[in-house]
C-alpha cells in the first residue's frame, strides 16, 4: 500500500499571532516591526481579512505606522500567511481624568 501526503487545504495550521507597527502593505505581503524592533514579513492572500472593531474594512483603509495584530496560519509550504489583520485600538484608561489612551 502506498501512502501519500494528505491534502491540508489552503491553510495548514495556526502559525501564530504577530503584533507590531505596520511598515508596509501590498498585494503580496504585510511587513510589521514588533516590540523587539524586529521586522516580520508575512505573506497575504486574497482571503486575508482586514478588521477594525471586528468589522471588515478594505486594506487601503489601514494607515502605515498603525499598531496591528496579524493572525497567521502555516501555508502548505510551511511559511506564515496572514489570515487576518486587525487594527489595535488603544484602550481608554478609566483612571485618567481626561480619558486618554494609555501610553
pTM for this model (two decimals) = 0.74
- How confident is residue 96, by pLDDT bands cut at 50, 70 and 90? low
Residue 15 is predicted with a pLDDT of: 74
- Answer whether CATH 1.10.1660.10 is correct for domain 11-87: no
Of the two residues 3 and 60, the one the predictor is more confident about is 60
Residue 77 is predicted with a pLDDT of: 81
3-state secondary structure at position 61 = helix
Report the DSSP beta bridge partners of residue 83. Answer: none
Residue 86 is predicted with a pLDDT of: 97
Report the DSSP beta bridge partners of residue 81. Answer: 43, 73
Amino acid at each position: 500500500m502506498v501512502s501519500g501526503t494528505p491534502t491540508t487545504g489552503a491553510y495548514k495550521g495556526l502559525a501564530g499571532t504577530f503584533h507590531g507597527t505596520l511598515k508596509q502593505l501590498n498585494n503580496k505581503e504585510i511587513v510589521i516591526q514588533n516590540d523587539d524592533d524586529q521586522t516580520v514579513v508575512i505573506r497575504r492572500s486574497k482571503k486575508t481579512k482586514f478588521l477594525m472593531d471586528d468589522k471588515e474594512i478594505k486594506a487601503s483603509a489601514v494607515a502605515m505606522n498603525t499598531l496591528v495584530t496579524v493572525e497567521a496560519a502555516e501555508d502548505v509550504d510551511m511559511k506564515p500567511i496572514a489570515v487576518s489583520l486587525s487594527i489595535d485600538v488603544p484602550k481608554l484608561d478609566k483612571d485618567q481624568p481626561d480619558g486618554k489612551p494609555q501610553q
